[in-house]
Amino acid sequence: MATAILIVSCQQQQTGQDSEIENKVEDLLSKMTLSEKIGQMNQLSSSGNADDFKEMLKKGMVGSFLNEVNPVTINKMQKVVMEESRLKIPLLFSRDVIHGYKTIFPIPLGQAASWNPDIIEKGARVAAQEASEAGIRWTFAPMIDITRDPRWGRIAESLGEDPVLTSVLGAAMVKGFQGKSLNDTNSLAACVKHFCGYGATEGGRDYNTTIIPEQTLREVYLPSFKASIDAGAATLMVSFNEINGVPSSGNDFLLRQVLRKEWNFDGMVVSDWGSVEEMINHGFCADRKEAAMKAINAGVEMEMVTSTYVEHVENLIKEGKIKESTIDEAVRNILRLKFRLGLFDKPYVAVNSKSSLYSDEHLASAKEAAIQSLVLLKNENNTLPIKSTVKSVAIIGPLADAPYDQMGTWTLDGEQEHTITPLVAIKEEFGKQVKVNYAKGLEYSRDLSTKGFTAAISAARQSDVILMFAGEESILSGEARCRADITFPGKQRELIAELKKTGKPLVLVIMAGRPLAITEESKIADAIVYAWHPGTMGGPAIADVLFGKVPPSGKLPVTFPQMTGQIPVYYSQKNSGRPAKEPLMLLNDIPVSAKQFTLGCSSYYLDAGYKPLYPFGYGLSYTTFVYSDLKLSKNQMKKEDQMEISCKITNTGNVEATEIVQLYIRDLVGSLTRPVKELKDFKRVAIKPGETVKITFTLNTNQLKFWNAKMEQVVEPGQFKVWIAPNSSEGLEGSFEVTE
**Contacts by 309-312, CB closer than 8 A, 24 or more apart:** 309/38, 309/41, 309/42, 309/276, 310/38, 310/39, 310/42, 310/61, 312/288
* CA 724/CA 693 separation, integer angstroms: 14
Active-site residue, selected from the candidate residues 96, 162, 272, 526: 272
| Cα torsion angle, 237, 242, 243, 245, sign | positive
Residue 515's contacts (CB-CB under 8 Å, 6 or more residues apart) are 150, 155, 486, 556, 558, 559, 560, 561
∠ Cα 510 515 517 (to 5°): 85
**Helix (H) / strand (E) containing 510:** strand 506-511
Residue 404's contacts (CB-CB under 8 Å, 6 or more residues apart) are 416, 419, 474
* CA 75/CA 60 separation, integer angstroms: 16
* CA 559/CA 160 separation, integer angstroms: 9
The SS3 of residue 617 is coil
Active site residue 272: yes
The SS3 of residue 233 is coil
**Helix (H) / strand (E) containing 187:** none
In eight-state DSSP terms, residue 200 is G
Question: Are the C-beta atoms of residues 331 and 40 closer than 8 Å to each other?
Answer: yes
Pairing between β-strand 506-511 and β-strand 527-530 as defined by DSSP bridges: parallel
Greatest CA separation found in the chain? 86
What are residue 510's phi and psi, to 5 degrees? -110, 125
| Cα torsion angle, 383, 386, 389, 394, sign | positive
* CA 626/CA 731 separation, integer angstroms: 10
Provide the annotated active-site residues. Answer: 272
